Amino acid sequence: MRTTWNGAISFGLVTIPIGLAIATEPRAKASDVTFRTLHRECGTPIKQKRWCPFHDREVGPDELVKGWEVAKGEYVMIEDEELEAIELESSPSIEIERFVRLEEVDPIYFDRTYYLAPSSQPAARRPYVLLLAAMRETNMAALGRFVLRGSEKICLIRPYGEALALETLFLAEDIRSKAEIEEAVEGVEVKDAELDLARQIIASLAGPFEPESLESRYRRSLHDLLEAKRSGAPIVPAPPVPEATPSADLLEALRASIAEAKKPPAKKPAPKKARASTKKT
């Protein structure tokens, strides 16, 4: 496994050699397709210019400096050398500060997931397996910190099957307040009959988590569209999605949902070759 950082997990007098490997694709949150901005007339990629509106001219890289806006139109300039002076050196190890119960850490704090790869030396893998087994048995996770490419990372190490995974964490100050939502729902009561029907709907739709079922319809449609345009095939427009309207009668909507859930699932239609609109000329 290709690792981006090699070091060790350190707690007490125990040192476990590990390597850090990215667990997810860089564009997994959007699409695996990237676009360039082109000039429609000739299809040439557009170049972005750095333009100073005050001097009304293009500026070069050596004329650029970072600025922190402290008021409207007022900036504090800071040089790269000044930032480099306070940059932290890369850590030789991940320092474990304490162990916490895994269920106490809300996923909202998770930022980026990495795999922790064990040492290439078989003799050095035993402490890795020991830590994995102990945390899995106790349902605990390890909170720690390290420096990666000059940036300090607060992290959580947790069991992930037969491997250790590392989650970089958002800081508490990075999490936006939910007080406005809590205030909106405070004092709203639901009826026992509504709650009972809601439980029935959940039970009717309950099932095991299957990672292979996580697929992007948009990504599939985008690939179909691009392949159709490249080959010159006709492009079939996607059917319009009906707008959801809130039900005036909650109980009736719940009963209808239960009846709908009891119907046998319809057969999935064969996938179409493309999903955006135009006509072949």
pTM of the model: 0.73
Range 167-176 contact pairs with CB under 8 angstroms and sequence separation of 24 or more: 167/109, 167/110, 167/111, 167/112, 167/113, 167/114, 168/110, 168/111, 168/112, 168/114, 169/109, 169/110, 169/111, 170/108, 170/109, 170/110, 170/111, 175/108, 175/109
For the segment 36-58, the average pLDDT, to the nearest whole number, is 92
Radius of gyration of the chain (CA): 27
DSSP H or E stretch at residue 220: helix 217-231
Residue 140 maps to a domain:
yes
**Full residue range of the structural domain in which residue 22 is found:** 5-28+87-174
97: left (phi over 0), alpha (psi -120 to 50) or beta: alpha
Residue 142 maps to a domain:
yes
pLDDT at 27: 61
Q: Among candidates 155, 152, 88, which has minimal Cα distance to 116?
A: 155
Whether 280 contacts 232, CB under 8 Å: yes
pLDDT at 267: 61
Residue 211 maps to a domain:
no
Residue 162 maps to a domain:
yes
As a dihedral over the C-alpha atoms of residue 99, residue 104, residue 110, residue 112, rounded to 10 degrees, the angle is 40
pLDDT at 270: 56
Residue 195 maps to a domain:
no
Residue 110 maps to a domain:
yes
Q: What is the pLDDT of residues 80-92, one digit of tens each?
A: 899 888 887 877 8
Residue 154 maps to a domain:
yes
Residue 268 maps to a domain:
no
CATH of the domain at 166: 2.40.290.10
Number of structural domains found in the chain:
1
